[in-house]
Copies of this chain bind each other. A is one copy, B any other.
């Protein structure tokens, strides 16, 4: 790797001049500019970002912290973030937190040590000290906290919608899968669903699950039908779990949606490939990722932002795990 010094040497100027043409500031004569540019090309020089970062105390690096890239919902988010960042010349340092406080703190720590200029985080505790103490902008993605910058979907409303659609389609004994109690969006969905169920006075059962992992999901699906064999409507905490439930229903010879309806959450890409395809609550994950990245960039660059908390609305995607209903139904 050539350095600015070598460029200066071969161009026959000082490093200051090279720096000036690099950053297009200060005066530099047309002829010298050309000489410098030639040298740069000749040596195939590109500036050392580390040195820049050290001097300016800021880099072109962003920290991205997601719970688990292996959960099919997150790649969409991640990709949205990456595309937007890439287009704006920011790079991502990426980590999985597994919803663990410790890992989260470790990552935030190293983000800072690497001079990142901003952080995008899906944390369950946006009000934790680590974030409060940060003197760089943070955008919470898929999570939120009072008036801190965040991009998220209306999980509670999603839960409500799921419950309403299920009831409207005739389920009388609904089971709600609660999802991990420490994962904020899971709580919201759950509460939304229960809110409506109580309001409508529909009997329901709750099955507590503790993660979004696929292998465990299969166990819960079994447990679900074992404990509540007569349930005729299941609101899952996400599409992964819903898929596992769907499969278990198949195994038990239950017809979906005739015997039991299922509604998932997230609308991950593969949910429409299931047979029957999965009715679910859609969140615009890719867009949300992009929006979070955009918001963060605005914050970093000190632009004025009108709204720093962006809630996306969710919508019901009617597919085949729910029954048809009259349009005026």
Show the binding face of A for B, using Cβ within 8 Å: 1, 46-51, 53-54, 59-61, 64, 68-70, 72, 74-76, 78-79, 82-83, 86, 91-96, 103, 109-110, 112-115, 214, 243-244, 246-247, 250, 269-270, 273-275, 277
Contact = CB atoms under 8 A, between A and B. Distances in A.
A74 B64 CA distance: 17
Nearest to A96: B82
Contacts of A109: 46
Nearest to A64: B94
B113 A46 contact: yes
A243 B273 contact: yes
If over half of A's interface residues share one DSSP class (helix, strand or loop), that class is named, otherwise mixed; here it is helix
A93 B115 CA distance: 13
How many copies altogether?
2
Nearest to A46: B113
Contact of A61 (B72, B114, B246): B114
Contact of A93 (B79, B92, B244): B92
A80 to B, nearest CB: 10
A15 to B, nearest CB: 16
Given A273-B244, A274-B273, A274-B275, A91 B78 contact: no
Given A91-B93, A114-B91, A76 B82 contact: no
A243 to B, nearest CB: 4
Contacts of A243: 270, 273
Nearest to A215: B269
Nearest to A256: B275
Contacts of A112: 1, 46
9 contacts: A1-B112, A48-B115, A49-B114, A68-B79, A69-B82, A74-B75, A83-B96, A244-B273, A247-B273
A112 B70 CA distance: 28
Contact of A50 (B64, B115, B214): B115
Contacts of A51: 54
Contacts of A110: 49, 60, 91
Contacts of A46: 109, 112-113
A83 B269 CA distance: 25
Given A70-B269, A82-B94, A274-B275, 18 more contacts: A47-B113, A49-B115, A59-B114, A69-B75, A69-B78, A75-B75, A82-B95, A91-B114, A92-B93, A93-B93, A93-B94, A214-B273, A244-B273, A247-B275, A250-B275, A270-B270, A274-B274, A275-B275
Contacts of A49: 110, 113-115
A115 B1 CA distance: 10
